[in-house]
Amino acid sequence: MTINKKILEIKDLYASVQGKNILNGLNLSIKQGEIHALMGKNGSGKSTLAKVIAGHPYYEIKKGQIIMNEEDITNEEPDIRSHKGIFLGFQYPIEIPGVSNIDFLRLAYNSKQKVIQEKELDPLSFFDLINKKLDQINMNNLFLDRYVNEGFSGGEKKKNEILQMFVLNKKLSILDEIDSGLDMDALKSIANNIKSFSNNENAVLLITHYQRLIDYVMPNYVHVMDQGKIIYTGDQSTAAYIEKYGYNYIKQN
């Protein structure tokens, strides 16, 4: 029997931005092989949590701990966290004019290879690798030569986050509202991508408002966040209850 190791453990976390408390005693534990979904009203602190896990410098951690693979990373710099295995797909992906997508991906990929002391790839070998990944996620290679996210539609930006997730292949991938602004076909395709990415070695944290993505991806746990902490953890049926009765249903029960 294999015992799945904890990838991430957050203990009693308090964080603030510009003097305003946003995370208020949050606990969360994620093991390898698992997909977790995080739901919650606008402003409940979901994106803040994602950024605090990734080490965004705006946010001040007041109390508590973030443990990644048994190492305390509460006060680590963002690049160290990334090297230790955290990927964050943004709710609003940034555009990087002047930098082509493929150069950006190769740079990110090689910096990871360097840290894990594996071979870095030249442009041609990387082109092979990226084409395999594109096939895997059903994305066309016209994306590669365009500047990162510049002029991409909402759906294309989200797909590009998925591509980055596949190329970087980190232990913990956090996707913030990867489903917002997607039509039904794009949503199904991205849900399938997430399922095929998930394996016994990694973990995925999906932040979403909608039941639809949860229905397709079938996460192991669905957490509900309110005023900076997780107030309820259930299974997929949680999303259906929320869709039907609203978040107050969770609060009252």
Contacting residues toward Mg ion, per CB under 5 A: 46-47, 91
At closest approach, how far in Å is the CB of 53 from ligand ADP? 12
Query: Given the complex with ligand ADP, which of 56 and 83 has the nearer CB atom?
Result: 56
- With binding defined as CB under 6 A, does residue 92 bind ligand ADP? no
The entry of ligand ADP, Mg ion, none that residue 22 binds, CB within 5 to 8 Å by partner kind:
ligand ADP
- With binding defined as CB under 6 A, does residue 202 bind ligand ADP? no
Element housing 203 (H / E): strand 203-207
At closest approach, how far in Å is the CB of 245 from ligand ADP? 19
**The residue to which tokens 């365009």 are assigned:** 146
At closest approach, how far in Å is the CB of 90 from Mg ion? 10
Phi, psi at 239, each rounded to 5°: -65, -40
Query: Given the complex with ligand ADP, which of 32 and 47 has the nearer CB atom?
Result: 47
Query: Given the complex with ligand ADP, which of 48 and 160 has the nearer CB atom?
Result: 48
Across 132-152, b (16+ Cβ under 10 Å) vs e yields: ebbeebebeeebbeebbbeeb
- Using Cβ positions, the residue closest to Mg ion within the complex turns out to be 47
Eight-state DSSP code of residue 172: E
Summary count for the chain: helices (H), strands (E): 9, 12
Tell me how far apart the alpha carbons of residues 245 and 32 are, in angstroms, rounded to a whole number. 32
Lay out the site mask for ligand ADP across 43-82 (x = CB under 6 A, - = otherwise).
xxxxxx---------x------------------------
Between the two ends of the chain, the Cα-to-Cα distance in Å is: 36
- With binding defined as CB under 6 A, does residue 208 bind ligand ADP? no
Which residues between 102 and 161 bind ligand ADP (CB under 6 A)?
Answer: none
At closest approach, how far in Å is the CB of 175 from ligand ADP? 13
Q: How far is CA 193 from CA 2, 96, 196, 203, in A?
A: 25, 24, 5, 14
* Residue in 190, 130, 181, 187 with CA at minimum distance from that of residue 153: 181
Identify the sign of the CA torsion 230, 235, 241, 243.
positive
β-pairing verdict for 60-68 and 71-72: antiparallel
Which residues between 11 and 40 bind ligand ADP (CB under 6 A)?
Answer: 17-18, 20, 22, 40
At closest approach, how far in Å is the CB of 225 from ligand ADP? 7
Query: Given the complex with ligand ADP, which of 1 and 94 has the nearer CB atom?
Result: 94
Where are the alpha helices (H) located in 121-246, listed in sequence order? Answer: 123-137, 154-168, 184-197, 211-217, 237-245
At closest approach, how far in Å is the CB of 229 from ligand ADP? 12
Query: Given the complex with Mg ion, which of 46 and 171 has the nearer CB atom?
Result: 46
Contacting positions for ligand ADP (CB under 6 A): 17-18, 20, 22, 40, 42-48, 58
